[in-house]
Amino acid sequence: MLGTTITLAFREIRRHLLRSFLTILGIVIGVAAVVTMVTLGNGATAAVQEQISGLGANILQIRPGQGFGRGGGGPQPPDFDEKDVEAIAEQVAGVAAVAPQAQSSGMAVRNAANWSTTINGTTGAYFTAQQWALASGRIFTPAEEQGGKAVCIIGATVQQNLFRRDDPVGQRIRIRDISCEVVGSLVRRGQGGFGNDQDDVVIMPIKTVQRRFTGSRDIRNIMVSVNPAYDSATVQSSISDLLRERRKLQGGEPDNFNIFDTAQISETLSGTTRILTALLGAVAAVSLLVGGIGIMNIMLVSVTERTREIGIRLAIGAVAREVLLQFLVEAIALACLGGVIGLILALLASVSLAPLLQVPFIFDPQINLLAFVFSALIGVVFGYFPARRAASLNPIDALRHE
């Protein structure tokens, strides 16, 4: 019985192809829109998490000031010094590595090639904190760090622009007026937080940068790697108490430094992206309801057109349940067909748009299955009323219908 009903349903759909297509158009658009929005939203969330993770896992960034900048009017907050770095490393539990940073910029030159890049002065602990491996060469020795030697480790972007395919280790480049020996090169990491190119960097011992580029022994940024066994918030609180004590801040005075937890930033941005994705998906889902109303209207028209056929079926022995099932299966078949076409269009749209938006394509079977099931439920809900109306027709009245 069910097999015959399904065959009759598809035969009726095939008989009116154009009308059937227009009927399911709302379902197609709804499913395609919902799945595409959610898929691209998931890709955007993954892209945000990847960019934030580029700052390092379990990393605390400590800077002077009360925000990303150094504050507005009033005295400028003091930078950090070497003693602050030592105090954090020695007195705060849960700290895996502490890397001071002093940054500048300049032109890196090798033979006829030149490249404007970022100069990052730090210590060997920086590579531990960032979990950044070397592609070749080595990191600084303690003697090179203490003596402020002119040695450097270059990122993949700098290597590509200055050395092409040559091995940079052991060769020399000039940064501004300083001749520097390349002792290592870093593996490529790509885009980092806020869209910056992490590979466009030359890393040197911090004392070298302080003496020859910044002209100051001050430290603008301290990177702290937190031991995964410790709670990041607890470590952050301990560092804050220590720095307040060292900077002689009284109880009522606000901090003149800020501590950014990359894990919290990632969680906040990812949560915001998920909320926006859910809102966009909900808005797109409205078209599914519109598609359901379209199915109900067309099915009511179909019942009116086929009133005499229904009367004949009822007169020769068909029961009302069989007529109801026939029209209900037809509505469900239309909705499922629209769902399948919508999923195909969503897949094509997601694959095409993901590279344009610079987000990864992440196929989510759950949202695809959910969208298909929801489209089938739309067929059940909106197809029941026309099917019920067909089943409740009086055979005599239906046979007299012209």
Residue 398 is predicted with a pLDDT of 58
Residue 87 is predicted with a pLDDT of 92
Counting residues of the chain whose pLDDT is more than 70, the rounded percentage is 87
29-43, 67-81, 146-160, range with the lowest pLDDT: 67-81
Q: Which of 224, 255, 286 delimits the end of a domain?
A: 255
Instruction: Tell me: do 207 and 317 sit in the same domain.
Output: no
Amino acid at 272: T
Task: For 242-270, give one letter per residue: b (16+ CB within 10 A) or e.
Answer: ebbeebeeeeeeeebbbbbbbbebbeebb
Instruction: Tell me: do 275 and 377 sit in the same domain.
Output: yes
Residue 183 is predicted with a pLDDT of 93
Q: What is the distance between the alpha carbons of residues 92 and 259, in angstroms, rounded to a whole number?
A: 15
Instruction: Tell me: do 34 and 172 sit in the same domain.
Output: no
Instruction: Tell me how many degrees the CA angle 85-87-89 measures, rounded to the nearest 5.
Output: 70
Residue 150 is predicted with a pLDDT of 92
Instruction: Tell me: do 240 and 99 sit in the same domain.
Output: yes
Task: Tally the domains of the chain.
Answer: 2
Instruction: Tell me: do 42 and 85 sit in the same domain.
Output: no
Residue 282 is predicted with a pLDDT of 76
User: Mind listing the pLDDT tens digit for each residue in 301-354?
Assistant: 777 777 777 677 777 766 777 777 777 888 888 888 888 999 999 999 999 998
**End-to-end alpha carbon distance in the chain:** 29
Q: Which of 202, 229, 255 delimits the end of a domain?
A: 255
Residue 66 within any structural domain of the chain: no
Q: Which of 192, 223, 255 delimits the end of a domain?
A: 255
Both structure tokens of 182? 């390349």
Instruction: Tell me: do 133 and 230 sit in the same domain.
Output: yes
Q: For tokens 């490529």, what's the residue?
A: 188
CA distances from 206 to 142, 191, 222, 368 (A): 12, 24, 12, 52
Closest of 222, 141, 128, 229 to residue 181, by C-alpha? 141
The mean per-residue pLDDT over the stretch 193-220 comes to 84
Tell me phi and psi for residue 47, to 5 degrees: -65, -40
Instruction: Tell me: do 123 and 157 sit in the same domain.
Output: yes
Instruction: Tell me: do 151 and 283 sit in the same domain.
Output: no
Residue 395 is predicted with a pLDDT of 67
User: Mind listing the pLDDT tens digit for each residue in 256-306?
Assistant: 888 888 776 667 766 777 787 777 777 767 777 777 888 888 777 777 777
Both structure tokens of 279? 């809102």
Residue 68 within any structural domain of the chain: no
Residue 394 is predicted with a pLDDT of 67
Instruction: Tell me how many degrees the CA angle 141-162-56 measures, rounded to the nearest 5.
Output: 55
Q: How many residues does the chain have?
A: 402
Closest of 125, 172, 176, 123 to residue 151, by C-alpha? 172
Range of the domain at 140: 78-255
Closest of 352, 292, 283, 258 to residue 43, by C-alpha? 352
The mean per-residue pLDDT over the stretch 14-24 comes to 78
